[in-house]
Amino acid sequence: MAVTRNRKLLLLLGVVAIAAVIVAVLVAVATTGGDDNDSASAATTTTAQGGTAESGAALLAGIPQSGITLGKASAPATLIEFVDPQCPYCAQWSRNAFPAVVRDFVRTGKVRLEFRGLHFLGPDSEKALRAMLAAGKQGKLFNLAETLYAEQGNENSGWVTDALLRRTAATIPGLNVNKMFADMNSADVDREIKEADELATRYQVEGTPAFALAKPPQSPIPLQGASLDAESFTASLAAALGQ
């Protein structure tokens, strides 16, 4: 009887030891062998361009967002951006110039950004745009826009899937993903899309990204000749602001 009991305990110890080794290997593989594009943390979406939702959040942290605007309502000027979520040059602007604009002009209270999303490139544009505007209902439009630009796929390839929206939106702290999906087809989002289309027509926007600077009481003026790299764009913006 004692022999059987000892043999059982030895067998159990053997099983525990094997399980411990296998778990150690699994954890080691899971910790070190993950996707290179997702190595920082679970709450971070690393983008094709090397940016992250986390760094995007850091860039925007503490700056007021309301609907389609980013920055203080008291800012003396408003930079209106016309963009299409599928437009590669918009992604380029987002990657290169946007951080500098936010850091030097928006955070300092000199400029407020106004997002005017267009969807002339196709159905993927409209779906992404609706998600961005819906995120705007929760004060997260610019967070989602930056994250989606970084995930931009081939034009109208169907890259804006529910899965992509859900995955990217889930990385943005404070964004209720289910509410975002519910708001995507709301009357408010329809109205914002219509308003952007009308504004683009009024400003004769022929391509994206396009920019206009509003300095009340003056009428908005197109921001001409602005290159998409940070240095040139901020120089053009500073000049238009009269700095």
Q: Which residues bind other proteins (CB under 8 A)?
A: 4, 7-8, 11-12, 15-16, 18-20, 22-23, 26-27, 29-30, 33-35, 38-39, 41-43, 161-163, 166-167, 170-171, 177-178
CA neighbor of 226 nearest in space, from 98, 77, 112: 98
Least distance (Å) between residue 55 CB and other proteins: 16
> Which CB sits closer to other proteins, 28 or 238?
28
> Which CB sits closer to other proteins, 108 or 157?
157
CA atoms within 13 A on the CB side of 137: 22
Least distance (Å) between residue 149 CB and other proteins: 19
Phi-psi region of 186 (alpha: psi -120 to 50; beta: other; left: phi over 0): beta
> Which CB sits closer to other proteins, 47 or 171?
171
Convert 141-156 to b/e letters by CB count within 10 Å (16 or more is b): bbbbbbbbbbbbeeee
> Which CB sits closer to other proteins, 22 or 48?
22
Contacts of residue 99, Cβ cutoff 8 Å, sequence gap at least 6? 59, 230
Distances (CA, A) of 26 to 29, 36, 62: 5, 18, 39
Exposure of 168 by Cβ count < 10 A (0-12 exposed, 13-18 middle, 19+ buried)?
buried
Least distance (Å) between residue 178 CB and other proteins: 5
> Which CB sits closer to other proteins, 30 or 73?
30
Least distance (Å) between residue 35 CB and other proteins: 6
Least distance (Å) between residue 199 CB and other proteins: 34
